Structure 1
Amino acid sequence: MKKLIFLLILLFLLFFSSGQTYEEQSLIPLFEDLLTSKPLESQLKKIEIPYWGHTISVEERGYYHFVEFIIRKSAHFFLFGLAAIGFYAILPRNTLHFWLALLCTLILALADEYHQQLTGGRTPSGQDVFLDMCGAVTFLSVYIFIKRIMQKTLDPSKRS
């Protein structure tokens, strides 16, 4: 039951955030207040990220917009990684368990981008779906790996 509640809360957060306009979600005013000294600016100036046929950088977008871009894209990776684990936790165990969790996450990612399309000032992106799925595969793989290591450590009969 706790696993289902965790997944439902996560789904609500995703639905809520993809239903907000960019202006409603913008972290720029917060960063302008909290990051007045622009920490790590010299290091961030060295980074350029290709995205949607553009290069995203501090030089191109400015410090605060670049930091926001990094955080927003990291949120895709982490939230959909957690969603994949949530799906994995509630799905019935079988040989396709891993793949079903990823399929559910893919459907969620596509639905999220579709929902963004219906929201003013938002643009759906195949690159975001790709990023979502990278997070899903990474988180789920690490989760399963750690779970198996823990099982071997705690169960002496499984040691080789």
Structure 2
Amino acid sequence: MADNTKKLKIYQILFAALTLAVMVTIFVFSSEDADTSSQTSSSLTKVAVTIIDKNYYNEPPAKQQEIWHQASFIVRKLAHFSIYTVLGFCASVAAGRRRLFTLRSLGTVLFGFLYALSDEFHQSFSAGRSCEFRDMMIDTGGAALGMLISVAVMGIVGIIAAKRRKTKIKQ
């Protein structure tokens, strides 16, 4: 039994380190000025425009610009949501195994919210970037989803581990 506790602590330390790594990644992206940030997302936007409109390159320039603008918006917001989903997942696993409606689960989402708040504030100091409440809410939603996924994964892993222990005891 003590061995399981030791593994859990190592696992939590690993995910705490991953949480810190994701936080640094977010900080670096938020430090980019508007032009650099646009270049970073433009390669994904190129893919998105062809998904949104298969005939994109045959459209008139005004229509291409409209499609590009929409795709760029979607890519940027999905990037916010996705990286904060990873942050929420890592922070939640670092918080340890638990049920969904606990203070630690709420704390994980609150942590995501507070980091999103600080990130948006930090981003406002980068040239051409701004602090947007909408982005903060998208980020928080991503952190909440990451927490939900982690609780589900930890629950499934717990069920599998319990079944394996039962099988070992019977043998």
TM-score normalised over the length of structure 1 = 0.74
Supply the AA of the counterpart residue of 1:142.
I
Provide the C-alpha distance between the structure 2 equivalents of 1:129 and 1:61, rounded to a whole number of angstroms. 27
| 1:31 Cα offset (Å) | 6.2
- Identify the residue that residue 109 of structure 2 maps to in structure 1: 102
CA distance in structure 2 between the aligned counterparts of 1:61 and 1:11, rounded to whole angstroms? 33
Max radius of gyration: which structure?
2
- Mapped to 1, the partners of 2:70 and 2:132 lie a distance apart of 18
How many residue pairs were aligned? Answer: 143
SS of residue paired to 2:128: coil
Give the equivalent residue in structure 2 for 1:42: 53
Instruction: Specify the alignment match of 1:21 in structure 2.
Output: 33
Q: Deviations over 1:68-96 (max 9, x none)?
A: 22121111111111111222233367741
- Name the structure 1 match of 2:18: 6
Query: What fraction of aligned residue pairs are identical, expressed as a percent?
Result: 21
Q: Which residue, out of 76, 80, 83, partners 1:72?
A: 76
Partners of 2:87 and 2:19 lie apart in 1 by 7
Write the distance in 1 (CA, Å) between the matches of 2:120 and 2:64.
Answer: 25
Contact 1:88 1:101 in 2 (8 A): yes
SS in structure 2 of the partner of residue 124 of structure 1: coil
Q: Which one has the bigger helix percentage?
A: 2
- Determine if the alignment matches structure 1 residue 82 to structure 2 residue 94: no
Once the 2 structures are TM-superposed, how far is the Cα of residue 59 of structure 1 from its aligned partner? 5.1
Taking the aligned partners of 2:44 and 2:155, their CA distance within structure 1 comes to 40
Q: Which whole-Å CA distance do the structure 1 matches of 2:82 and 2:52 have between them?
A: 24
Runs of 4+ in 1 over 3 A off after TM superposition: 27-32, 58-61, 91-95
In the alignment, structure 1 segments of 5+ residues that lack a partner are 46-57
CA distance in 2, matches of 1:93, 1:152: 12
Letter in 1 for 2:144: V
Measured in 1, the distance between the counterparts of 2:146 and 2:122 equals 24
1:141 paired residue number: 148
Aligned Cα root-mean-square deviation (Å)? 3.0
Structure 1 residues 115 and 60: alpha-carbon distance in aligned structure 2, compared to 1, 3 A threshold: farther
CA gap of 1:29–1:89, structure 2 versus 1, over 3 A, is closer
Aligned pair in 2 of structure 1 residues 31, 74: CA closer, same or farther (>3 Å)?
closer
2:91 and 2:35 mapped to 1: Cα distance? 31
Name the stretch that deviates more: 134-143 or 92-101: 92-101
